[in-house]
Structure formats: structure tokens, C-alpha cells
Structure 1
Amino acid sequence: MKTVTDYEMHLFHEGTLYESYSLFGAHLIKEKNKIYTRFCVWAPNAESVRLVGNFNDWNGERFQLHRVNHEGIWIICIKGDLQGHLYKYEVIAQDGSKRLKADPYAFFSEVRPGTASIVYSLDDYQWNDHKWMKTKAEKTILAEPVAIYEVHLGSWRRHEDGSYLSYKELAAELIPYVKELGFTHIELLPLIEHPLDESWGYQGTGYYSVTSRYGEPKDFMCLIDQCHQHGIGVILDWAPGHFCKDEHGLFRFDGSYLYEYETLGDRENAIWGTANFDLGKNEVQSFLISNALFWMKYYHIDGLRVDAVANILFWPNRHETENPLGSQFLKSLNQTVLAYDPSFLMMAEDSTEWPQVTSPVEYGGLGFCYKWNMGWMNDILSYMETSPESRVMAHGKMTFSLMYAFMESFVLPLSHDEVVHGKKSLLNKMPGDYREKFAQLRLLLGYMFAHPGKKLLFMGFELGQFDEWKDKEELDWNLLDYEMHQKINKYVKDLLKLYRRSKPFYELDHLSEGFEWIDVHNHQQSIFSFVRKGKKEEDYLVIICNFTGQKYHDYRVGAPKEGSYREIFNSDRDEFGGTNSINKKVLKTEAIEFHGRSHSLRMEIPPFGLSVLRPVKHRKERKGNGKEKVRSHVISRRERK
């Protein structure tokens, strides 16, 4: 009968058993035409461990696990295939106390409020996303458009009776919706098993068990498979810093502080009422790093958004004292994950000023691919919530982000955290009357997509919700019955189309060469103008943003180059709910120096509006569209006549 090898034990205790899920948990073992179910658990300080479940009437007297070579690893093999059966470990501590514990490595769990683990095989799912996986590996994501739709599956949409949609139902409804909007990725709030709905998955018990709220693990595989087949990447929120303290979970697993720090001040997380993982313990590193690889291998996840990185980098109760155990864990995590799959996206939700978060570990960095730009998020929302007439005093909040925009590879987030718990919805953060709120929301979104950095937005913004996020209800879909909400929805779709088809918005996203201010100093009018550039010299766009309700005629803007420009996007179009202050005609430059440039142009500036200008290319500059050849044939025919 297969047991634990000395090599596996060595790697586990060393912190480098990166497929620890293959050793621990419940697994079907075939041997000599017989099937066994093997259970393996780490509980070094337990006096004894028993297996209990619905297959033995929850009586573990004859189901004692045996300890392997005093290594703290316990194992038992039961004859037969126990798939679908409920089970727990009855852990007897050295003081004689008993605890019924769910399996830390279980692949499936009972629907809450049940807390038992379920024997489940993840094998034999037939994936159909080979094209996606191949294409993803060939792309350089830094130079690609990335627009992420953040989703809480339990409140995106629900049945009429208030019950959740299943993973399969979400595949049928969420995927075409996200694709129609134009997002490149979805990001799912944590789906590890968790007892409390209100924690949104950030306080987990089953790190290897996708939550049973919406169906079985293979149903979730189907959801991801369908996303990939429709060209949509999937990112999963992941919380490796802390876990909930429910009795059946990881907390005091064998009577000792096993997964968590032993010292009270380091262990307790008073803000969330959780326990912090002991990131310096090798076995915990094997558990967590294996978990990251597990989601990649078994579920084809495209990325992890690592939650609360500040809580890992700094000791939570030591007044901003750096935690070297945490930073070393993150380096090991990122090195291991990206060695396994270089195209995988590791994203840090980090509110600190820690340097080189997205630099490779070998160059002194933490090794993440992207960092959430929390500074940009705080500044832009603070600016937008300021009354338009007072924005003259808050001008620096808009310009400061460009001082550091290229020091890291950033994601610009307007996430769930900004539209919950009294913070108001994005629309309701905007000052002014009904139409001004919508105009400023359009402007905010337009400026966000024109600003360097990948994009992330939480579900519901595209409906123009007045209410903040309600996690126990579905989104306010009824709003789409109303004109202004239909128009903001159309605006979002058109904005995403503009973003995805405009290389200057993403090709040099992470490099200073991709951005240039035209006018950064106009605080009196709160107007900002700048250039976004692509890799080719002729690929650039001019963006002008007016953050007041004042409309301007014949407003002069310095032009990057002499020539003609066409307005290709305007947030004030009537089809978006605006006043239609647009520039219909081609804008030609004049030899008038302005904004430090030799040529300039005059244009209409919409109130609370964003305008995007593209240089008009002459026919000889156009390549590959076939018009040059057609024109030459027409001329030759005329000459023959």
C-alpha cells in the first residue's frame, strides 16, 4: 500500500513540497485491482487522530490513523471507493481535549452551515481550452489590453427566490455578459470554502475546496473552461495571510498553534477577528505555495490577486514593523509560481510603499507581476468627490500618480472595497445634480482608461447604481429600464471597445515613453491634457479632460505634431447622456506656439467631458487597407480616357 516517502517528508518539512495536495487529504488509491481511499493529515502535536464520517456513523474507534515515523504525519487507508462520503478528523490533543476538524486539504466540502469535508476526485475533467492556454503562453501581457471585471458570484445575479446561481448557470449568463461589455478578464472574490457569507470568502477554512455554495468542483472547472473558450481570463482572489478561527477549521488544529503564529501579538488579527498564518513555518509554506499551484494545475486559473499584502509584509500588531518572514514567503511564492507558468498573473493588493513589488526577486524585488495602485484610487476618488469649484485646490491629487506611475507595473482598481459599508456607489460619489453625476462618472471612467495602468472595476458600475453594493442581493438590474442607465451601459461598452482597439492605451503602459503631458498646470480650469503613445511613432492619441461643468468654445491645445486630428471619442455625446458638445469636423493645427509646442489647434471642450483625438493619416501613410491601390487604378483609368 502506497505510503509517505522519506523524500516527501523531507520536502514538506523543508517548505518545498509544492504538490503537498497529492500527499495530504483524501485520495483514491488503486492497487492490485482493488480501490482504497487514503486519508493523510499533518498534526504533529496530536496524541492521536481518528477518521469519522457518515461511512462509520461518525464513530472513529476502529478508524485510528497511524503516525508515520514520528514526523507528525498521520495516515489511514480504507478499503473501497468513498467518493461522496462526508468525513472529519477527530483530533485528540495532548491534554486529552477532542476537536472535530475538517480536512485542510479536502477538495470539496459540505454546503454551509454543514462543516464536513467530502471525498471528491478532481481527475477526469475533459478540458477544451487548449487554444487559450497556448495563446496565453505566447503573449506578453504587459503590452496587451487588460480590463478586469471584479465579481462576487453570490450577488451578481440571483434566482427570483433569492437563491444563488450555480457555476453552470453563471457560465451561461455571466460569460456572454462580460464578453458583450468587452472585458478581457474576470476576477472572482475568494472561492475557497468559508463558513460566513458576509466574509465574502476572505476568511476561509478550506483552501483546496472551492465553495459548494454554487455547485461541485467540476462545475467550477466548466465555468473557467467556458470563460477560456470565449477569450476571457479568470483571476481568483486569494488570502494567504490569515484565516478564520471557526472550530472546524485550521485554528489550533491539533491543540497547538499549528498553522498560526504561536505568539499572541503576532497571531491575532483584531481588525478581522482572524488568525495570521505562521509564514516562517516551513510546513505552512508547503501548504500555501502548493495551494497557489493547485489552482493553476487543477482549475486552469490565470492569476491570483493576493489579498492584504500589507498584513504579510508588516507585523499587524507591532506598529509598522517589517516582517521578514512575510517578505521572504512572498518572494518564494512568486518565484515558484512563475517558474511553473511564466504567463501566470500574480497581483498584489498592497497599500504600502514597499519598493520593487513588481521587480523580479533576483533584482531585489518581491516578484509580483502587478501591484494595485491604491494611491491612485484614493486620490482620484477624493478628487472626484470634491465639488467642481473646489477642485482648483485639489489639482495635485490628479497629477501625483504620474510621479510614480512607472516605478511599478500597476493595476488601477475601483474595487468592491470602494462601494460598500457606507462609502456609496461610484455614481453617488459624484457631486452635483442627476445629469452631472452621470457626466462625471463617464469622465472618471474615461480618465481611468486613458491613464497608464491595467484596469479593474467592480460589478454594477456599468448599470449606474445609486446604491452601494449589497452583498445579500443581486445587482440593480431593473435600472436598465431607465434611459440614463441604458446610456451609461452603452458608454462602458464603447469605452472598452476604444481601449481594446487603441494600442497607445496599453502597448507602453508600464513605460514612461508611453505618456507625455501637454498641459498639467491648468488648475484654474481643472483641465488636463496629455498624450498616450504606442510602439510606433505614428501611433498616439491626444486626451483632454475637463473636470468642471464649464463648456469651452475654441479652446486651444498644444499639438504633438503638425497636421490634422479627428475626435474619435467624446464622453459628452448625446447617445451617452451628454450635451453633445462634440467636435464633428477635422481639427487642423495652426503654426501658433502653445503649451510649449510649435503648433496648436482649437476645439470644443465639453462640460465634465473627455475628448480623445487621433492624428489623421494621409493616404500614403496608411498601410494594408488596400485604398492606395484602388485610388491609383481610378487615376490610371481617367488618364486613359
Structure 2
Amino acid sequence: MAGSVVHGVSLLTDYDLYLFREGNHTRLYEVLGAHPMTVEGVPGTLFSVWAPNAEWVSVVGDFNGWDDGAHRLASRWDGSGIHEGFVPGVGPGALYKYRLRSQVQGRLFEKGDPFAVSWEAPPKSASRVWSLDYDWGDGAWMASRGERNALGAPWSVYEVHPGSWQRVPEEGNRFLGYRELGARLGNYVQEMGFTHVEFLPVMEHPFYGSWGYQTLGYFAPTRRYGDPQDFMALVEELHRRGIGVILDWVPSHFPQDGHGLAFFDGTCLYEHADPRQGFHPDWKSGVFNYGRNEVRSFLASSASFWLDRYHADGLRVDAVASMLYLDYSRKEGQWVPNRYGGRENLEAVKFLQDANGELYGRYEGIQTIAEESTAWPQVSRPVFLGGLGFGMKWNMGWMHDVLAHMGRDPIHRRWHWNELTFGMWYAYTENFLLPLSHDEVVHGKGSLWGKMWGDSWNKAAGLRLLYGWMFAHPGKKLLFMGDEFGQEGEWDHDRSLDWHILTDPLHDGVRRWVRDLNALLRSRPALHRLDFSPQGFQWIDCTDSAGGVLACLRLDGDGGTVLGVGNFTPVPRRGYRVGVPRGGFWRELLNSDAPCYGGSGGGNLGGRQGEDVPCHGRPHSLCLDLPGLSFSFFEPA
């Protein structure tokens, strides 16, 4: 049994309270929540929680029989609404919640700790006292990651759901733990040549089927796969292998589970009180009140926490569009205009700008990436230029267009050629990342394999062609797990990927192609250094819709040049002339139709000699053989 609560112990300073109330505190996890410590030689835990509309707050747990009369916290005298107290004898591993009586109608609530750094594994719902001490061994990565994560560096991101990448079927289809995942995923990603892993939200979430996007514990990795140190070991393992770690983060909405943030102290504390602003109609979840200073401090602290305590290299921010627009998924009369009468959520805009500024200023070498699906301007431009301050933005338009094109019967593609080329008209309006993400293989959309035209051979060829164009196109790259080998079925979070299909040469060929594309991306600066500059790309020809062929150059600014040529029809084009800027021999670097990738073996026998035959406005040209549904890369020898 823990000793009586001791009042007067606090980590909060006057400056902490000032920043908290101003909405500018970005490290609240250091002063709120449950902190194991020793006070006057007595070990225990200091509990601190913000509940301004609570009549009283008690900490209840397995250490006091869940008795709300045992450890009543003290309400601070300063009007901050924070309740705190030190409980002797309570240490790491203890389970706890806050039981409180609201000033509103005297109702009782039992809540988890918004700042808990560990929870019970769902469906259980208690918070857990924990220490985040860890002896990190990734110093070499942390010292060099600014170069690895730079906008001019190669980025090929492997998006992973930890619960379904691989499972252990011989042990009841159990999840891999964080440490097991670190070893297996580290080996695979290193072999495949991806530069970064992006995890779907690992933050604690009650509903597994939300994939983490219904976040409840904003400061804790889910207990499903291990404890906090286990997750630290996963990040460290990837870093030791030279692989960056991006975490999905969801500041747009939160679930309504009774032990979570919703109606926390009997009032709309974290969510906006007006349901037209505080309830999300699509996800049936609460929407944060970005106009409340303390809520902005909570969210900014969560973002900082993962970069600080878990050495994450960046955050991919989910559903940014839903934050930016007051009328997002709402009909006329179901939303409230801003003070100027517009649809822009001005408080959310300021929050994103302030948060990005703080993160880039504090954590060297990180990136933030916006999943933003509209034409909101300057998402990935600096705040001082009027932007939102993100480093990159997902290019949803490119994704939708190119997948639509690859699903068409090739006989019709000539009439929809703009689906391949239109993206270049706006390619430099943002720092774009090209996503083929989990969103494209769920909710009845089928797999990428299933979206391709034709029989199995043509589907494999189509995937290789799609990925070839993706890697030739300006912008960073992202593939969801399973896409890299042509997973045939739609992603199912309740089971492992279909690794057994790699015994099929067609699927293993797709995997080999992606591996070699990653190696080419890393080794040729022309394919990544100027992703966000018009100087890094030139069309050779984008007008041959009848022939189904496009050709382009990628440039690194120092003379490095890579030529990409794609044939989007199943008809081989023999003797196809392509203009190039110089003569001499052009080496064929990769050809997706090579037998090692499951192709037919057509190609150019290692390269072609440039001829002094002008073509496409260039002084020289190559006479190429282009297999059907293929993509090839060349460089001058």
C-alpha cells in the first residue's frame, strides 16, 4: 500500500505555467503526468493533471485498491487548474487512473492520464507509471542525420503497419514485438535499399482497426508490441543500419472513448465545445480546440516528445486538410465561419506554423511532412514567407492520376495521357513526396497489383512501369509495405503480408526491381538532388500519346544526367528515336523488362551509341528498343 499523498511537491515553475497558459509550452511532458522520483529519500511518483473544472481529483490504482479516498491530489493555488501530489511507494509499472468529480452536476469520471508515457495493452485502459531512461547507441546517426534527411538527399520511404508487416503464425498469429520487428525489418529494409521507414501511428490507440489514427495516448507507444524501451530499441536498430524513422502523428482528431480526452473534466476541455467545430462527422471523433492555449501546448508537446525522447527523424502529420478548413466534410449550416467570414481555421493554421517553427528550431536534421489533399498554398514553404512551415507535402494529385492511368486498358490510354504528364505543371509549387500509401489498398480499393491492367504477367509489368516512372519523376518516394512485391490481396491489418508469393518469379521480380530502383536513386544524385528545383528535370518528349512513350532527363546540377524512357503500351517500340543532349555511348542502367525482373528480355544490350541525328530539339539521339510496358534508365558513359 502506498503512503499518504504528499502535497507541495511540484516540477512546475512559474515560467512553465506562463508558457502553458500562453499556448507556447512544448515540453509539458517534463512537468505533467506521472514522474517517478525520490523526495527526501523516499521513492514514489509525482502525479500532475490539468482538470480546471474538477471539484476534486484522486489518483487511483493497483497500489491503493482503486480507492478514490486514498490519494486525493491538491488543486494548485494559482488558478491553473492543475492538480498534483506525490505518492510515496509508487514506482514504475504501477497502474493508475484519475478519478474526478466535475463541477458540472457533480458527475464522477475516471480517466487515463493525458501525459501517460505507457499504458496497459488494450482492451485494458489504465495508464502505467514508467521511466523513460535508456542508454541510446545511435549517436553516429543522430550526428549525421541532417545530411541523410536533407531535401536534397535520396528519400525512398517504406510505410509500415507494425501489427501486420509480419506475424508469427506458429504462435497463434501473434504480433512481432518491437525488438523482433527491429531485427527483421532492419534486415529487410537495408537489403531493399529504402532510406526511411514511416510507421503508421504507434501512439496508444484503443481500437486496433483504426491502425493508430484514433490516437488516445499522445505520449506513449502502444503496448501491443512492447514497452517504451522496446520501441526505443526498434528506432535505435534502424538508426544503426542507416535508416531514418518517420512517425505518423494525428493532431486533427481523437476518439471518444470514456477513459480518454473527451469530456475530460466534465467539460469540453480538449475538444471545441461547439459540435460544429468540435466533432468530426467522418470519423465520429473529437476535434481539438486549437484556439485554447493549453490545448496547443498539449499538442506541441506531443510533437516534440517523439523527436526528443524517441529520436524520431520526422513526423508525417495526418489529415492536415481537416484541420485547415472549418467546413471540411460539413454541409451548409453545419460549420462556423472564422471572424472574417471565411472557411479557413485560423487557429489551426497558427498552431501548425508555430509547431513547425519550434520543431525545426529545436531538433536539427528533422523533417515534417503534411498529408494535405487540397490546393492550400505554400504548405511546404517557410512561415516567414506565409507558408505552413512543413518540409514536404504528399502529392495526392499525382497519385490519383497515375493510378487511374495504369488501370486503363492501354488502347484507351492515349486519350488520358495528361494523367501521366499533368503533375509536372505543378511539381514545384510544393516540396512533394509521391505517395503510394496504405490509403490506396484499403476499404475495397484492392491492391496496387489489382489496379493494374491485364493478366498476371501484364500486372507485374505494369507495376514495374509504374515504379519506374515514379522514380524518374521529381519528388521523394513512398511505398506501403507489400507494394514492393506486388501483394495481390487488399491489405488486411489482422494478418501478415503474403510473403509466400515471393516464390512466384513475377512477384520476386517486382521486389528485385524496387530494390534496384532504390540503389539507383541512392547512387545517382540526378535522381534526387534537385527534386524540388525546375533545374533538375527536363522533358525530352511528353507528347507521344499515340505511341504511348514519354522520355525525360533528370539532372544533378553538376553535369550528372539520367535519361528515363517509358513505354505505356504492351506493344514493343523498336528503333524508337529519342533526342539526347550529347553524343557518345549511353549506358542502360536499368530495364524493367529484364528477365531478372520477370520481363521478356527485350532491351538495348547494355546501351546505345548516340547518333548525330537531331531529334526532339536535341542535337543527338538514341535509337532505342522499348519493350512493351517497360521503363528504362540510361546515362552517358
TM-score, normalised on structure 2? 0.95
Identify the residue that residue 209 of structure 1 maps to in structure 2. Answer: 220
Deviations 1:552-594 (A, max 9, x none): 1111111122222121110000111111111015422222221
**Residues in 1 aligned to 2:563 and 2:19: alpha-carbon distance in whole angstroms:** 55
> Displacement of 1:140 after TM fit?
6.4
**Residues in 1 aligned to 2:93 and 2:364: alpha-carbon distance in whole angstroms:** 36
* Letter aligned with residue 556 of structure 2: G
**Residues in 2 aligned to 1:204 and 1:487: alpha-carbon distance in whole angstroms:** 37
* Letter aligned with residue 143 of structure 1: G
Identify the residue that residue 97 of structure 2 maps to in structure 1. Answer: 88
Kept after mapping to 2: 8 A contact 1:295/1:301 = yes
Identify the residue that residue 143 of structure 2 maps to in structure 1. Answer: 134
Q: What's the RMSD between the two structures over aligned residues? A: 1.2
* Letter aligned with residue 539 of structure 2: W
Percent of pairs identical after alignment?
44
Deviations 1:495-543 (A, max 9, x none): 2111111111001111000000000111111110010001212x10111
Deviations 1:100-138 (A, max 9, x none): 100000010001110000000112x11000000011135
Secondary structure, in 3 states, of the residue corresponding to 1:143? coil
From 294, 305, 308, the counterpart of 1:297: 308
Tell me which moved more, 69-78 or 236-245.
Answer: 69-78
Identify the residue that residue 24 of structure 1 maps to in structure 2. Answer: 32
Secondary structure, in 3 states, of the residue corresponding to 2:411? helix
Kept after mapping to 1: 8 A contact 2:395/2:432 = yes
From 484, 491, 497, the counterpart of 1:475: 497
2:73 paired with 1:62: no
* Letter aligned with residue 583 of structure 2: E
Secondary structure, in 3 states, of the residue corresponding to 1:37? strand
From 6, 9, 25, the counterpart of 1:2: 9
Deviations 1:454-487 (A, max 9, x none): 1000000122211010111100011112222222
* Letter aligned with residue 254 of structure 1: D
> Displacement of 1:343 after TM fit?
1.2
From 599, 603, 619, the counterpart of 2:624: 603
**Residues in 2 aligned to 1:590 and 1:302: alpha-carbon distance in whole angstroms:** 47
Tell me which moved more, 540-549 or 596-605.
Answer: 596-605
* Letter aligned with residue 432 of structure 2: F
Deviations 1:365-414 (A, max 9, x none): 11000000011111111111111110111111111110111111111000
**Residues in 2 aligned to 1:276 and 1:251: alpha-carbon distance in whole angstroms:** 10
Q: How does 1:217-228 map to 2 (within 5 A)?
A: 217-228=228-239
Identify the residue that residue 112 of structure 1 maps to in structure 2. Answer: 122
From 278, 283, 289, the counterpart of 1:267: 278
Identify the residue that residue 204 of structure 2 maps to in structure 1. Answer: 193
* Letter aligned with residue 605 of structure 1: L
2:122 paired with 1:100: no
Secondary structure, in 3 states, of the residue corresponding to 1:597? coil
Identify the residue that residue 489 of structure 1 maps to in structure 2. Answer: 511
Tell me which moved more, 14-23 or 132-141.
Answer: 132-141
2:475 paired with 1:453: yes
**Residues in 1 aligned to 2:474 and 2:525: alpha-carbon distance in whole angstroms:** 12
Identify the residue that residue 356 of structure 1 maps to in structure 2. Answer: 378
CA separation of 1:59 and 1:611: change in aligned 2, threshold 3 A: same
Kept after mapping to 2: 8 A contact 1:463/1:476 = no
* Letter aligned with residue 391 of structure 1: R
Identify the residue that residue 548 of structure 1 maps to in structure 2. Answer: 569
**Residues in 1 aligned to 2:303 and 2:507: alpha-carbon distance in whole angstroms:** 39
**Residues in 1 aligned to 2:547 and 2:573: alpha-carbon distance in whole angstroms:** 10
* Letter aligned with residue 97 of structure 1: R
Secondary structure, in 3 states, of the residue corresponding to 2:600? coil
Identify the residue that residue 35 of structure 1 maps to in structure 2. Answer: 43
2:53 paired with 1:45: yes
> Displacement of 1:36 after TM fit?
2.9
Identify the residue that residue 639 of structure 1 maps to in structure 2. Answer: none
* Letter aligned with residue 528 of structure 2: Y
Kept after mapping to 2: 8 A contact 1:171/1:227 = yes
Kept after mapping to 2: 8 A contact 1:280/1:325 = yes
2:583 paired with 1:562: yes
Deviations 1:71-127 (A, max 9, x none): 21101111124221110000211211111100000010001110000000112x110
2:420 paired with 1:398: yes
From 529, 534, 542, the counterpart of 1:507: 529
* Letter aligned with residue 484 of structure 1: L
Identify the residue that residue 386 of structure 1 maps to in structure 2. Answer: 408
* Letter aligned with residue 212 of structure 1: R
> Displacement of 1:139 after TM fit?
5.1
**Residues in 1 aligned to 2:452 and 2:412: alpha-carbon distance in whole angstroms:** 13
Where does structure 1 differ by over 4 angstroms across 4 or more consecutive aligned residues? none
2:97 paired with 1:75: no
Q: Which runs of 5+ in 1 are unaligned?
A: 617-641
Identify the residue that residue 311 of structure 1 maps to in structure 2. Answer: 322
* Letter aligned with residue 86 of structure 2: C
2:554 paired with 1:532: yes
TM-score, normalised on structure 1? 0.94
Kept after mapping to 1: 8 A contact 2:149/2:366 = no
2:635 paired with 1:614: yes
* Letter aligned with residue 511 of structure 2: N
CA separation of 1:188 and 1:140: change in aligned 2, threshold 3 A: closer
Secondary structure, in 3 states, of the residue corresponding to 2:175? coil
Secondary structure, in 3 states, of the residue corresponding to 1:382? helix
**Residues in 2 aligned to 1:573 and 1:507: alpha-carbon distance in whole angstroms:** 27
**Residues in 1 aligned to 2:231 and 2:507: alpha-carbon distance in whole angstroms:** 32
Secondary structure, in 3 states, of the residue corresponding to 1:530? strand
Secondary structure, in 3 states, of the residue corresponding to 1:554? strand
CA separation of 1:586 and 1:96: change in aligned 2, threshold 3 A: closer
Kept after mapping to 2: 8 A contact 1:564/1:587 = yes
Identify the residue that residue 277 of structure 1 maps to in structure 2. Answer: 288
**Residues in 2 aligned to 1:206 and 1:495: alpha-carbon distance in whole angstroms:** 38
Kept after mapping to 2: 8 A contact 1:529/1:545 = yes
**Residues in 1 aligned to 2:147 and 2:525: alpha-carbon distance in whole angstroms:** 18
Identify the residue that residue 418 of structure 1 maps to in structure 2. Answer: 440
